[in-house]
Amino acid sequence: MPERLYMVIPCYNEQEVLPETAKRLKAKLEELIRRERIAPDSRILLVDDGSRDKTWAMISALHRKDKLFSGVKLSRNRGHQNALLCGLMTAKDLCDITISMDADLQDDIDVIDGFLEERAKGCDVVYGVRSDRESDSAFKRATAQGFYKGMKALGVDVVYNHADCRLMSRRALEGLARFPETNLFLRGMVPLVGYPSAIVTYKRAERFAGESKYPLKKMLAFAWDGVTSFSVKPLQLLGGTGLTIAALSLLFSLYSLLAYLLGWPFRGWGPLMGSLWFLAGVILAALGLVGAYVGKIYAEVKQRPRFLTEALLDE
């Protein structure tokens, strides 16, 4: 018996690409259903993340015309990670497997075949990994590479060059549902869920239409979120920095004592101001870092819902 697949596609102001994405996904799913690779009642679940354009109207129209399309609408814009989680948690009780993908056709739709092959071999999670980053700017490539390397150095288990294009089985989704955290960083959480997994590589294309919803500022915030949600190493490094500075200050004291005893000329104004400002900077930066973690704890203890759904279209 082929399994029931739900494609989960977060959409935020995607009216420019949605018709093309829907067309291509529909063709792909119909082909897979014909080849009996997935169950006939598989669906494309379009998640509207509180779009301000015609996205939801389009999703509703797609669903009215063709029951292959399902839709779920968040009560407001909650960001990509929350929208994706909303889609996965909605699909969890309706299907055997989900495959998540961006709405902008940057992920190669044919990667689904590879995903299903790995699933047939018994994998619960299949990660889509970009084989190259030709379609990205040199800057994005360099920052992304730095990010994955940095995460590894901090001891976080992330799959290199894997974004949120992946297959998850119902069992894995149920595991994910037991992670109650507010600070979502799915690509760090899914490896923690465990179960047998595999990697399938694909070439990432350029955005089909419309513009990126991830400007540099959001990208950096997301990376920072990933680090602080999964590693306390920065806090530990802080201790090390403090000790190093203390050791350096001993050297300075020794030097000034010698200078005093041996009558060396002692001109201290510049270095004094320098070290004063430097230390104040270090202390403030340290406070900021601790503050970042305190802020996360603050967000977690409030236990606010990660998303509210306004409407579900699924038949």
Q: Which of residues 199-218 bind ligand UDP (CB under 6 A)?
A: 207, 212-214
Asked whether position 226 contacts ligand UDP by CB under 6 A, the answer is no
- Give the number of other Cβ atoms within 10 Å of residue 68's Cβ: 19
Binding flag, residue 108, ligand UDP (CB under 6 A): no
**What are φ and ψ of residue 80, in 5° steps?**
-50, -50
If the CB atoms of residues 102 and 118 are measured against Mg ion, the closer one turns out to be 102
Of 48 and 124, the one with the shorter C-beta distance to ligand UDP is 48
Is residue 79 a contact point for ligand UDP (CB under 6 A)?
yes
Count of chain residues binding Mg ion (CB under 5 A): 3
Q: Is position 12 an interface residue for ligand UDP (rule: CB under 6 A)?
A: yes
Separation between Cα atoms, residue 17 and residue 247, nearest integer Å: 58
Contacts of residues 275-283 at CB distance under 8 Å and 24 or more positions apart, as own/partner, are 279/245, 282/241, 282/245
Q: Which stretch binds ligand UDP (CB under 6 A): 102-110, 112-120, 126-134, 253-261?
A: 102-110
Least distance from Mg ion to the Cβ atom of residue 76, Å = 21
Query: 69 with 144: CB under 8 angstroms?
Result: no
Cα 56 from chain centroid (whole Å): 23
Binding ligand UDP by CB under 6 A: which of 16, 96, 104, 124? 104
Q: Which of 4, 10, 156, 172 binds ligand UDP (CB under 6 A)?
A: 10
Choice between 55 and 123, CB closer to ligand UDP: 55
Residue 118: name its binding partner from ligand UDP, Mg ion, none (Cβ under 5 to 8 Å by kind).
none
Residue with tokens 């530990």: 236
x/- string (CB under 5 A) for Mg ion, residues 102-131?
Answer: x-x-x-------------------------
Task: Output the CA angle 214-215-221, nearest 5 degrees.
Answer: 80
Contact 122, 192 (CB under 8 A): no
75: left (phi over 0), alpha (psi -120 to 50) or beta: alpha
77: contact with ligand UDP by CB under 6 A: yes
Name the residue nearer to ligand UDP (CB basis): 57 or 273.
57
Count of residues of this chain found to bind ligand UDP when the rule CB under 6 A is applied: 17
> Candidates 60-68, 73-81, 174-182, 184-192 — which segment interacts with ligand UDP by CB under 6 A?
73-81
Strand ranges inside 36-96, DSSP E: 43-48, 69-74
What CA–CA distance (Å, rounded) separates 231 from 294? 14
User: CA 165 to CA 94: how far, in whole Å?
Assistant: 20
| Under rule CB under 6 A, residue 106 binds ligand UDP | yes
Task: Determine if 21 is a binding residue for ligand UDP (CB under 6 A).
Answer: no
Closer residue to ligand UDP, CB minimum distance, 214 or 278: 214
Interatomic CA distance for residues 277 and 267, integer angstroms: 18
Window of 28-36, 77-85, 87-95, 166-174 that interacts with ligand UDP by CB under 6 A: 77-85
- Rounded CA separation 91/108 (Å): 22
Q: Which long-range contacts (C-beta less than 8 Å, at least 24 apart) are formed by 267-275?
A: none
Q: Which is nearer to ligand UDP, 17 or 123 (CB)?
A: 17
Compute the Cα dihedral for 296, 298, 300, 305 and give only its sign: negative
Binding site for ligand UDP (CB under 6 A): 10-12, 14, 49, 77, 79-80, 83, 102-104, 106, 207, 212-214
Binding site for Mg ion (CB under 5 A): 102, 104, 106
